[in-house]
Structure 1
């Protein structure tokens, strides 16, 4: 199941190709897109893959389905809007599997970090936490990059090179999953504030070298993400 997070689905690739054509002006605002069959031949894929990509564009307001048939490109900020679209194709079950793996690794890694870290690690984690806070206050920001850096900084503070390398090896899949889950909180300031405070509690326990509290708050944080996804999509 995890393999599909590393290999882009055909519909995701189609979506990105359409994105490129819109950014380049080949499909400009007001233009009518070619029919599904023509796009399928052009991209060398099935009509199903084309339809999936077009449905995401339509649901996001990037294109409009015209009366009588056809689809028209809308006047929108394509650069900002399309950046998160590929993550609409991620399977929630995959994210939940990943969270289970993260709990196994990160809960114990955070305990080692609380025990072994130095003052420089504290400063780095504080800086990343502030960046994450600012991203949560920014209505246009998803915050996935700062979120990843927060967890990576903790892993590095464990002083275990195998843990760090493992985390780095799955960087792409982690960033994709964070982008997916955090994007669901855009426009919901209370939920974004809750996520920040979960990170803050981890940071405070870490700085206090409270091993058990650090483990507890890390587990709570990852469990909360898992519960929210299961509640919303199951």
Structure 2
């Protein structure tokens, strides 16, 4: 029989919040307590609550509106199914997600270099500043990483492409949180993002496209290596 793995703290927190939603303590449209408030209520760290919120967003239970807070979504709980992101830490699945991201985000970077505005560049710079300042703080760095990719998507100016990337955004954010340790050193990830930014800022579509390709491909190679090592360890 397969051994049961103990649940991580953030998974326990997410399950607790989900049960409160199912019981009607938090109703559709309600704003959840802030990260700080929820952390105090449950006696856990803010990073744990942030991961729990990301998992709940990936399940479609809540919506995280940056600058506003986290809100309970209106859904049919009886038909709620575990999305791919909850079990997405199998290496093969993570690689498939990265392949999808490569297809979408490489094109988004190219379009962003053609269509970006000064406001788009400011959003990217803010994300890069946070990544640079919090290289040793995983939650802040991961959130800034995610926001950078969302800023690039927005800068593409293609509403259909933006919608497609937003569709996988909760899964992206959830897996970024859980796969950070195998994605590469923070300084390398920051360097990759800076190269993407420079191509977009300079309005050089091919440079931006290549930089995004190199970034995602580099992460894919690290994940592949991790998967191979994990499989060898199981044999």
Q: Same fold (TM over 0.5)?
A: yes
Q: How many angstroms does 1:218 deviate by?
A: 0.3
Name 1:33's counterpart in structure 2.
none
What is the root-mean-square deviation in Å for CA atoms of aligned residues? 3.2
TM-score normalized with structure 1 length: 0.61
Q: How many angstroms does 1:129 deviate by?
A: 1.2
Where structure 1 has 5 or more consecutive residues not aligned to the other structure, the ranges are 1-10, 24-76
Where structure 2 has 5 or more consecutive residues not aligned to the other structure, the ranges are 17-42, 56-85, 229-235
* Contact 2:196–2:212, Cα closer than 8 Å, also in 1: yes
Name 2:216's counterpart in structure 1.
222
Alpha-carbon distance in 2 for matches of 1:90, 1:225: 14
Match status 1:144 vs 2:133: no
Q: What aligned pairs does 1:4-153 form with structure 2 within 5 A after superposition?
A: 15=8, 19-20=12-13, 79=45, 90-138=89-137, 141=139, 143-153=141-151
* Contact 2:196–2:208, Cα closer than 8 Å, also in 1: yes
TM-score normalized with structure 2 length: 0.61
Q: How many residues align?
A: 165
Per mean C-alpha deviation after superposition, the further-off stretch among 150-159 and 82-91 is 82-91
Secondary structure of the equivalent of 1:143? Answer: helix
Instruction: Tell me the alpha carbon deviations over residues 53-73 of structure 1, each in whole angstroms, 9 at most, x when there is no partner.
Output: xxxxxxxxxxxxxxxxxxxxx
Distance 1:170 1:13, change over 3 A: farther
* Contact 2:47–2:139, Cα closer than 8 Å, also in 1: no
Alpha-carbon distance in 2 for matches of 1:98, 1:17: 22
Instruction: Decide which of 204, 211, 219 is 1:210's aligned counterpart.
Output: 204
Secondary structure of the equivalent of 1:136? Answer: coil
Q: How many angstroms does 1:233 deviate by?
A: 1.9
Alpha-carbon distance in 1 for matches of 2:89, 2:211: 27
Instruction: Decide which of 155, 158, 171 is 2:156's aligned counterpart.
Output: 158
Name 2:176's counterpart in structure 1.
178
Alpha-carbon distance in 2 for matches of 1:95, 1:162: 24
Distance 1:17 1:99, change over 3 A: closer
Q: How many angstroms does 1:205 deviate by?
A: 1.1
Q: How many angstroms does 1:18 deviate by?
A: 7.9
Q: How many angstroms does 1:182 deviate by?
A: 1.4
Alpha-carbon distance in 1 for matches of 2:120, 2:47: 35
Q: How many angstroms does 1:81 deviate by?
A: 7.8
Name 2:226's counterpart in structure 1.
232
Instruction: Tell me the alpha carbon deviations over residues 58-95 of structure 1, each in whole angstroms, 9 at most, x when there is no partner.
Output: xxxxxxxxxxxxxxxxxxx9536856698897211111
Q: How many angstroms does 1:17 deviate by?
A: 8.9
